[in-house]
Amino acid sequence: MWTGSAEPDRGPTRRTGPVRGALRSLLFLTVVGLLSLTACSDDLPPPTYSGDEFADVGQLMQRTVNARAAALRERDIARFRRTLVGSDAGLVSDQQVYYDNLEQLPIQALRYRVLPKTITLVEGTDDYWAEVVVALQLQGYDDAPVRTRDRFLFTPSASGTRMLIASTTDYEWEADHPGNAQPWDLGAVKVYERPGVLGVFDYYTQESSSSVVDAVSSGRSDVRAVIGNQEPTTDGVIVYSLQDPPFLRGLADQTVGDPDRADGLTIAVPIDARTPAKGAASYRIFLNPRVLLEQPAVIGRLVRHELTHAMLRSRGRGAPLWINEGLAEYVSVRPMPPAKRRLPARALTVGATATDLPGEDEFAGSDAEAWYAVSWWVCEYVASAYGEDVLLLLRDRLENGADQAEALQAVLGITSSQLAQRGVALMTTTYADGS
């Protein structure tokens, strides 16, 4: 899926060789056999070449991608280049950037698997397209390998004894098969690591790398002090800050928040995007580059908000937005002196109109920022009146679309309207003097 600077119409160099000739003979016999069965009808479609007919070709492809994976794991650039069509300077250049990206990552597992039934002969050539499953697990950050699909173009080597990768980019196929592309799949990145934090930046954002990674590193301790230790086998956090639009477009249905509007996002990275039931391999954070110019306190608060989502992982999934976002805001301000916990300008005005807890429509509207604040202060009320442990219990009871009225009665003994009014009252009392 490398889309760094590949040209859509760039074709591989054509070669001939002994295995190529053998493959041609095999295809010729196959075509002759098929034609003998279909010659009596001009209405039947021409034969297609895919699937098990290319088992031998598939084995050669698999050897090539096995070598590619080993080269990336072992950081062996010479072996990596031997899997490519070396005469294609553009391909080699693009793949060098991809190699450089992965060389910076703490790779725990990396595998490629060619899907034989997707092998397709390019008409009029000796080249083949095939879909490839890529499984990549980052040490300390992913609970399992993240599986994505890509489509590679293969061509026989000059000797005919191997298949070489001629392209890792098929724009039309990728448009029809949106996947789970990561920043290192899309362009050059710079990776910075602290204990438990992996930061991924690009040319435009790398100057802020140290401050962002430091904020995430300290933020992890602050968040854990409130929500406690969770249960995943890995608790490292990956944070992205990049300006690459293709990466954002690939985040559909995988984020807590709107990728087009949010300053920060929490991304649930699925083990396999095609099989949602497998769950998430990790939860990663994206910071919009526009926030990197803000004061450290602002960045720190945003980071802690997103860390709350990321570190809670799937806990509370399906709970209403007001409890998810309100809890994240509540946690985000805990390390700050009360006088520094700023409220959005319209929060008091919007809060005065609240007759119930906000729903999805309120969070999607023009006053979304104010409703975040209302939700925050609802959580402040629960924590102050009942305790933080009850606040977390309430979130757990509201997960998976549970009946909100029943959960509120069981945990707090009040209605949603009463809870909203008490939260707003506490917010108004706290900020009424203009602080």
Q: What is the CATH number of the domain that holds 22?
A: 3.10.450.100
> Residue-wise pLDDT tens for the chain (435 aa)?
655 543 433 343 344 343 444 444 433 333 333 333 333 333 333 333 444 667 789 999 999 999 999 999 999 999 999 999 999 999 999 999 999 999 999 999 999 999 999 999 999 999 999 999 999 999 999 999 999 999 999 999 988 889 999 999 998 888 888 767 889 998 999 999 999 999 999 999 999 999 999 999 999 999 999 998 776 567 899 999 998 767 766 665 566 556 666 789 898 899 998 888 899 999 999 999 999 999 999 999 999 999 999 999 888 889 999 999 999 999 999 999 999 999 998 999 999 999 999 999 999 889 999 999 999 999 999 999 999 999 999 999 999 999 999 999 999 999 999 999 999 999 999 998 765
CA distances for 342 relative to 37, 261, 289, angstroms: 78, 20, 22
CA distances for 193 relative to 197, 213, 217, 218, 287, angstroms: 6, 7, 10, 13, 16
Residues 49 and 138 in one domain: yes
Residues 310 and 365 in one domain: no
Which structural domain, as residue segments, surrounds residue 251?
Answer: 182-315
Residues 56 and 162 in one domain: yes
Convert the chain into a string of H (helix), E (strand) and C (coil).
CCCCCCCCCCCCCCCCCHHHHHHHHHHHHHHHHHHHHHCCCCCCCCCCCEHHHHHHHHHHHHHHHHHHHHHHHHCCHHHHHCCECCCCHHHHHHHHHHHHHHHCCCEEEEEEEECHHHCEECCCCCCEEEEEEEEEEECCCCCCCEEEEEEEEEEECCCCCCEEEEECCCHHHHHHCCCCCCHHHHCCCEEEEECCEEEEECCCCHHHHHHHHHHHHHHHHHHHHHHCCCCCCCCCEEEEECCCHHHHHCCCCCEECCCCCCCEEEEEEECECCCHHHCEEEEEEEECHHHHHCCHHHHHHHHHHHHHHHHHCCCCCCCCHHHHHHHHHHHHCCCCCHHHCCCCCCHHHHHHCCCCCCCHHHHHCCCHHHHHHHHHHHHHHHHHHHCHHHHHHHHHHCHHHCCHHHHHHHHCCCCHHHHHHHHHHHHHHHHCCCC
Residues 309 and 322 in one domain: no
Of the residues 263, 283, 315, which one is the last residue of a structural domain? Answer: 315
Residues 328 and 282 in one domain: no
Radius of gyration of the chain (CA): 27
Residue 150 domain-assigned (yes or no): yes
Per-residue pLDDT, 245: 66
Of the residues 143, 177, 211, which one is the last residue of a structural domain? Answer: 177
- Residue 338 is encoded by which pair of tokens? 């009360």
Residue 200 domain-assigned (yes or no): yes
Residues 273 and 326 in one domain: no
Cα separation, 376 vs 396, in Å, equals 17
Residues 131 and 187 in one domain: no
Residues 154 and 229 in one domain: no
Per-residue pLDDT, 19: 43
Residues 341 and 257 in one domain: no
Per-residue pLDDT, 11: 40
Burial 280-301 (b: 16+ CB within 10 A, else e): bbbbbbbbbbebbeeeeeebbb
Burial 82-110 (b: 16+ CB within 10 A, else e): bbbbeebeebeebbbebbebbeebebeeb
Q: How far from chain centre, in Å, is Cα 347?
A: 32
Residue 8 domain-assigned (yes or no): no
Domain count, the chain: 3
Cα separation, 208 vs 288, in Å, equals 12
Residue 129 domain-assigned (yes or no): yes
CA distances for 327 relative to 187, 285, 316, 331, 405, angstroms: 35, 17, 11, 6, 19
Residue 1 domain-assigned (yes or no): no
Residue 219 domain-assigned (yes or no): yes
Residue 9 domain-assigned (yes or no): no
Residues 327 and 248 in one domain: no
**What CATH number is given to the structural domain containing 297?**
3.30.2010.30
Per-residue pLDDT, 160: 85
Residues 42 and 110 in one domain: yes
Residues 187 and 305 in one domain: yes
Of the residues 116, 146, 177, which one is the last residue of a structural domain? Answer: 177
Q: What is the pTM of this model?
A: 0.84
Q: Are 419 and 380 in contact (CB under 8 A)?
A: no
Residue 97 domain-assigned (yes or no): yes
